[in-house]
Every structure is written in structure tokens, then in C-alpha cells.
């Protein structure tokens, strides 16, 4: 009963988010400004979460590393945090969708999801393929629910992403280390930080905003056992700690440039 209520509440929340997403209006942006900045790490960098490569090592581990970094936290030499999603909160009017095409195409290469962070407009398609000559799946849960097999390499398929929200991706083909996150979004004012922690949002209508830095989280809460129907074995899969968010105010002047720098960490 409780589980059913939780799913009902989640469905209601996703429906509300989707309805809000439909309210975004594309308008001609006059005298738009730019918001740029960085996301930097503060303090000691936690030990990278890794898992042993236990399946298809000839494809998944050609250099015989034996383990795979789960890519949950990437901190560069100068402290920049990659794969942080920075976005404007509650913006209802602005430019047309112009999210990067490479964030809307998923590849499975050497048993990794590339890119690790995806950004897809609501009601658009995510295109997917596998470059690996092994069986992979793309199992999604959250704002989208699919379980898609990829038995052959280089065959592209696409699926609609009808509701806004977060989608978790994992492989049910025995490659338990494979993970990625996708945001299905209602407006274009989203960016993903690069290896130096930099981001930029362009053609922002003048005004006052709340800007959010969202990170998927870098810890493993526990290991969850399950029966894998493809390998017919019991496997242990990592369950990650929840995402983290940091929020600031920002003002954008006509034709102006605003700077917002985030400092994130364990504390």
C-alpha cells in the first residue's frame, strides 16, 4: 500500500513538472545577456568510486585495468568539477531550444555510457547506439522508463522523452558499473560544466533569476543484490547517494555579462 502511494505521489509530481514545462514560451530575446562561471571543488577530494570489471573484459577492459571508475565525481587539476548541470530556475520565457546535440545522443563504448550526463528537451527524442560487439541494455527509470536491448553494434534507435525530470540509466546486461544521468528539460537555459568546471548560458532575457548547480552525487549508499535475467546470475549493483544542489541569485542586465561561481564539496 505504502509503495503504491509513493508511486502515485511520484507520478503526480512528474505530471505537475511536465505541466509547468509546457508553460515555457519561446520569444524574441532583445538585449539578451550572458551568465558564465565555474563550479569548483573545496576540500579533500573523495576516493573515486570504482567497481570490478567482471564481464566481457576483452571489450570492456582492453587495457586490463581490472576496475572501472564510475565517473560520479570528476575534479580537474585546478579544482573544476565536470558534469555539473547549471540551470536557471523557474524561467518561463526566452530563446528557442538550442541544447548541444552531443548531449542528446547516447553511445555505449567500451562498456561506458557516453556522455555521462545527457540533456534532452521534453517531447524530443534521445537517440542511442552501441559501439560494442556485446549485448548491452539501456534501462531507464525516473521521468522515462524504458529497457532497451542493443544486441548488435552501430544500430541507432530513438525514443521520445515525454516528461520533464531526472532519468537514471543503467545496463542490465551484467555490466553493473555502467551508469549515466539524463535531465529532460522544459527550457534551453541549461549547461554542463567541462573538465575545468566552466559553464555559460547565452541569450538570457534581462532580469533577476535563481541559478542552480546540480550534481548527481558521488557516493555509493549501498550495494543492491538482484537477479540478472540476461546472465542468469545474482549480481551486486551500486545504489548511489542522492544528487546535490547549490543555489544563488543572479541579475542579468541588457547586453550584460554576469558571473556566478559555485564552490561545492562534502560539507
Quote the CA–CA distance of 158 and 205 in Å, as a whole number: 33
CB 239 within 8 A of CB 141: no
CB 255 within 8 A of CB 32: yes
pLDDT at position 229? 61
CB 87 within 8 A of CB 21: no
Q: Side-chain half-sphere of 23: how many Cα atoms within 13 Å?
A: 8
pLDDT band at residue 231, thresholds of 50, 70 and 90? low
pLDDT, one tens digit per residue, over 42-95 is 999 999 899 999 999 999 999 999 999 999 999 999 999 999 999 999 899 999
How far are the Cα atoms of 119, 153, 181 from residue 237, in angstroms, in the given order? 25, 25, 16
Domain boundaries along the sequence of the chain: 2-264
The CATH number of 2-264 is 2.60.40.420
Amino acid at each position: 500500500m505504502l509503495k503504491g502511494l509513493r508511486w502515485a505521489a511520484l507520478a503526480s509530481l512528474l505530471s505537475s513538472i511536465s505541466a509547468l514545462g509546457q508553460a515555457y514560451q519561446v520569444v524574441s530575446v532583445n538585449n539578451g545577456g550572458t551568465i558564465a562561471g565555474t563550479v569548483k571543488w573545496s576540500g579533500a577530494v573523495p576516493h573515486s568510486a570504482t567497481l570490478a570489471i567482471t564481464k566481457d573484459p576483452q571489450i570492456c577492459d582492453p587495457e586490463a585495468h581490472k576496475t572501472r571508475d564510475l565517473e560520479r565525481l570528476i575534479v580537474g587539476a585546478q579544482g573544476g568539477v565536470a558534469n555539473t548541470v547549471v540551470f536557471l530556475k523557474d524561467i518561463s520565457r526566452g530563446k528557442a531550444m538550442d541544447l548541444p546535440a552531443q548531449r542528446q545522443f547516447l553511445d555505449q563504448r567500451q562498456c561506458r555510457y557516453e556522455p555521462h550526463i545527457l540533456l534532452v528537451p521534453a517531447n524530443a527524442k534521445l537517440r542511442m547506439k552501441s559501439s560494442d560487439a556485446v549485448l548491452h541494455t539501456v534501462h531507464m527509470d525516473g521521468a522515462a522508463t524504458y529497457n532497451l536491448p542493443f544486441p548488435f553494434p552501430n544500430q541507432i534507435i530513438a525514443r521520445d522523452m515525454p516528461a520533464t525530470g531526472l532519468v537514471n540509466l543503467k545496463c542490465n546486461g551484467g555490466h553493473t558499473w555502467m551508469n549515466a544521468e539524463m535531465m529532460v528539460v522544459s527550457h534551453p537555459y541549461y549547461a554542463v560544466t567541462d573538465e575545468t568546471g566552466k559553464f555559460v548560458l547565452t541569450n538570457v532575457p534581462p532580469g533577476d533569476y535563481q541559478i542552480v548547480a546540480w550534481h548527481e552525487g558521488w557516493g555509493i549508499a549501498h550495494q543492491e543484490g538482484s537477479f540478472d535475467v540476461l546472465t542468469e546470475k545474482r549480481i551486486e549493483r551500486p545504489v548511489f547517494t542522492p544528487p546535490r544542489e547549490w543555489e544563488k541569485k543572479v541579475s542579468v542586465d541588457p547586453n550584460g555579462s554576469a558571473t556566478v561561481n559555485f564552490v561545492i564539496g562534502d560539507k
